[in-house]
Amino acid sequence: MFNRYVAVRSTRLYINWLGMLLMGLLFSRQAAAQTEQLDVDRLYEKYKGRTETTIFAGDKEINAHVLISYNGNNRPYRIIVYGEATADADMEELVDQLCNAKAKAGYKKAVRSSPVNFDQYGMYENNIPVRSYQKGSQYAKYGIKKMEFRNQIQADSVTESTNLRHTSDFFYFEVGDANRKRTLKPEKFDF
């Protein structure tokens, strides 16, 4: 009888100990998930209050515009950095670096990606082809579009000819969270 009592008691202690261990693991995972910061929040801390920033592509310094979009709860749901760079700035290399960083951070490349229709203040052409990445509800889009072509006169000994030469690129970088965007409050219609 005594051995049975000891066996039952030790089994209960083991089950309680195992339960506490599992609960501790569960709470630590929840705490880690809650403290993991979204990329849009990390970038918001960097760019809040700014409308312009400087980025570097190769050895070129490029001025870029910053656009932050907010949801109905006044929380940022996407951050866009865009602008124009000279054709000799290595924007493709910069985009490759950004895409590689997203892949290392656990983002997956989107199988299909539609062009972004962006025309801030009517300054740039629409439909920028982008590379898209997704991680849960978070996303990233990086695109470059050849923008400006100018005449370049090539003089040779026989005849002068005019060729169009690519002189600038429009770039578009966007990071956001689709779940946060969905919290937009519909505006009450009043007529």
In tens digits, the chain (191 residues) has pLDDT values of 556 655 556 667 667 666 676 777 766 555 444 457 899 999 999 999 999 999 998 888 999 999 999 998 899 999 999 998 888 888 899 999 999 999 999 999 998 878 888 876 655 556 788 999 999 999 999 999 887 655 555 545 455 555 666 677 889 999 999 999 876 566 676 77
Contact 45, 144 (CB under 8 A): no
User: Cα torsion at 66, 69, 70, 72 (round to 10°)?
Assistant: 160
Neighbours of 149 (CB within 10 A): 13
Q: Count H helices, E strands: the chain? A: 4, 7
Token duo for residue 157 = 């000994």
Domain ranges for the chain? 1-36, 37-181
First to last CA, the chain: 83
Degrees to nearest 5, angle at CA 50 with 94 and 113: 40
pTM over 0.75: no
Maximal CA-CA distance, the chain: 114
